[in-house]
Amino acid sequence: MKRYLILITIALLWIGCNKDDDNGIPEPGGPDPQPQANVEVQDFMWKAMNLWYFWQADVTDLADTRFNNDEDYTNFLRSEDNPEDFFKKLLFTEDRFSFFNDDYKELVNNFAGVSKSNGMEFGLSRFGSGNDVFGFVQYVVPGSDADAKGVKRGDIFKTVNGQQLFQDRANASNNNYELFDLDTYTIDISTIIDNTITDTGNEITLNKQENLVENPVFLTKTLDVNGIKVGYLMYNRFTSNFDEELNNAFGELRAANVSELVLDMRYNPGGSVNSSRLLASMVYGTRTNDLYIRQRWNPKIQAAFGAAQLEDFFADTTGDGTPINTLNLSKVYVLATRGSASASELVMNGLAPYVDVIHIGTTTRGKNEFSLTFVDDPNREGAPYVYTESRESNINPNNSWAIQPLCGRNENADGFFDYTSGLAPDIELPEDIANLGVLGDENEPLLARALQEISGATAKRSFTVKMPANTITNSKMFTQIKDNMYLDKPLNNITIQ
pLDDT of residue 307: 85
Distances (CA, A) of 389 to 165, 373, 380: 39, 11, 12
Name the burial class of residue 410, with classes exposed (0-12), middle (13-18) and buried (19+) by CB atoms within 10 angstroms of its CB.
Answer: buried
Beta-strand ranges (E) seen in 144-276 are 156-157, 159-160, 163-164, 184-193, 196-207, 209-213, 217-225, 228-235, 260-264
**Which amino acid is located at 179 in the chain?**
L
Q: How far apart are CA 426 and CA 359, in angstroms?
A: 5
pLDDT of residue 306: 84
pLDDT of residue 491: 80
Minimum mean pLDDT among 34-48, 242-256, 369-383: which range?
34-48
pLDDT of residue 495: 67
- Cα dihedral 33, 39, 44, 46 in deg (nearest 10): -90
Q: How far apart are CA 476 and CA 121, in angstroms?
A: 7
In angstroms, the first-to-last Cα distance of the chain is 30
**Which amino acid is located at 387 in the chain?**
Y
Contact 263, 217 (CB under 8 A): no
pLDDT of residue 267: 98
Question: Does 22 have pLDDT greater than 70?
Answer: no
Closest CA to 192 of 122, 127, 120: 127
Q: How many CA atoms lie within 13 A of 65 on its CB side?
A: 2
Identify the bridge partners of residue 466 per DSSP, sorted by sequence position: none
Contact 135, 124 (CB under 8 A): yes
Contact 398, 40 (CB under 8 A): yes
* Sign, Cα dihedral of 349, 281, 114, 440: positive
pLDDT band for position 485 (cuts 50, 70, 90): very high
Please compute Rg for the chain using Cα positions. 24
Q: How far apart are CA 26 and CA 463, in angstroms?
A: 67
The torsion angles phi and psi of 476, rounded to 5 degrees, stand at -70, -20
Contact 50, 73 (CB under 8 A): no
pLDDT of residue 457: 79
Contact 296, 417 (CB under 8 A): yes
Give the residue-averaged pLDDT of 331-341.
98
Q: Is 159 helix (H, G, I), strand (E, B) or coil?
A: strand
Dihedral class, residue 243 (left if φ above 0, else alpha if ψ from -120 to 50, else beta): alpha
Of residues 284 and 479, more confidence is placed in: 284
Q: What is the pTM of this model?
A: 0.90
Q: How far is CA 148 from the centre of its chain?
A: 27
Question: Does 126 have pLDDT greater than 60?
Answer: yes
Give the residue-averaged pLDDT of 444-456.
96
Dihedral class, residue 173 (left if φ above 0, else alpha if ψ from -120 to 50, else beta): beta
pLDDT band for position 10 (cuts 50, 70, 90): very low
pLDDT of residue 492: 67
Contact 279, 314 (CB under 8 A): no
- Mean pLDDT estimate for the chain: 91
Question: Does 80 have pLDDT greater than 70?
Answer: yes
Q: How far apart are CA 221 and CA 32, in angstroms?
A: 67
Of residues 178 and 58, more confidence is placed in: 58
Of residues 429 and 175, more confidence is placed in: 429
* Sign, Cα dihedral of 448, 234, 238, 477: positive
Q: How far apart are CA 133 and CA 164, in angstroms?
A: 8
Q: How far apart are CA 380 and CA 466, in angstroms?
A: 56
Question: Does 12 have pLDDT greater than 90?
Answer: no
pLDDT of residue 489: 86
Domains of the chain: 117-210 (2.30.42.10), 217-372+384-466 (3.90.226.10)
pLDDT > 70 fraction of the chain, expressed in percent and rounded: 91
Minimum mean pLDDT among 31-40, 169-178, 361-370, 469-478: which range?
31-40
pLDDT of residue 458: 66
Give the residue-averaged pLDDT of 5-11.
32
pLDDT of residue 381: 86
Q: How far apart are CA 467 and CA 472, in angstroms?
A: 14
Question: Does 1 have pLDDT greater than 80?
Answer: no
Closest CA to 260 of 291, 286, 290, 221: 221
**Which helix (H) or strand (E) element contains residue 389?**
none
In the DSSP assignment, the letter for residue 458 is S
The torsion angles phi and psi of 126, rounded to 5 degrees, stand at -95, 155
The model's pLDDT over 373-392, given as tens digits with 9 standing for 90+, comes to 999 999 998 899 999 999 99
Minimum mean pLDDT among 255-259, 334-338, 459-463: which range?
459-463
Contact 77, 43 (CB under 8 A): yes
Contact 404, 99 (CB under 8 A): yes
How long, in residues, is the chain? 497
